[in-house]
Amino acid sequence: MQFKLEQLDTQNKASLVCELCKDQELLNSLSREKMKQIIKRVRKVKERKYTRRRVPKYRFPGFKAMPLEDIDRFFSAFKPEEYRCKSLFLVQAFLGLRIGEAVKLNIKDIDFRNKQIRIKTEKQQLYEVIDSMYLHEKLERLLLEYIEIYEKEITEHDGFLFFTSNSSCRFKHISPDRARNVFRQTCNRAGLDQFYGYREPISDLKNWKKGKLYKYSTHSLRHSFARYLAKRKVPIEIAKHLLRHKDISSTQIYYMHDKEDIDAELRKLFEIKAAMFTERK
């Protein structure tokens, strides 16, 4: 059937592009220069349609990290019947995982004999990352207790530790979005509902809804782990591997001093100066 591209409406054009993208032979037949042109045009459209955030998402490094008192409030707010979700976030906090990494943990990833737990790192590309992390005593006890309680369900869900109870879910594990919803509900229950602004209409203006930007999210547990490493003066090169960062510049964000550190150093400086002045007298 012969037709002219300009005669098609936007929806049909989009459908045609999607179908062409599925054609592997067509894609393989394109020259390198032709593919570069297509990629360049798609990138320009993407940048124009999905504009970048105009203001920083966070005020300063460490803003998203939860102090110990807030972490205690968060975990104390779980109900007894929410033990499975509580365990998920404990594992995330103990290892500094991204939520997408935590929900995908499988019983096959745990080596109790050698005290190692394998992590399927998100954003993993062709660079050096650690494939496993040390299974310290607290985490080992937690996992052994958890597996003993849910051994049957874990087996029925192909070994996924944090299995889903939703039969219509296409995954055998809890989805990251479901975990984020549970995190938000628990934070609200604990009174950790601080927010620092509202979502910006970055894209899709038709379906955009005004919503709060909460101080804490599931990623706050990873931020807290990273800040803990920095506070304990763990060498940044080791922290980079523990956090499985591609570039050390990502790790440096957590190693920047926050306002509390700066104020404390300034306080010490004036205490020293005051002591020196007293000695001279």
**Dist CA 230 CA 255 (whole Å):** 5
Is the predicted pLDDT of residue 18 greater than 90, yes or no? Answer: no
pTM for this entry: 0.72
Residue 67: which residues within 8 A CB-CB, separation 6 or more? Answer: 224
What is the residue extent of each domain of the chain? 5-49, 68-196+209-252
Is the predicted pLDDT of residue 115 greater than 50, yes or no? Answer: yes
| Single-letter residue type at 13 | K
Superfamily, domain 68-196+209-252: Intergrase catalytic core (1.10.443.10)
Is the predicted pLDDT of residue 24 greater than 50, yes or no? Answer: yes
Read off the pLDDT of each residue in 42-56 and give the average, rounded to a whole number. 67
Is the predicted pLDDT of residue 22 greater than 70, yes or no? Answer: yes
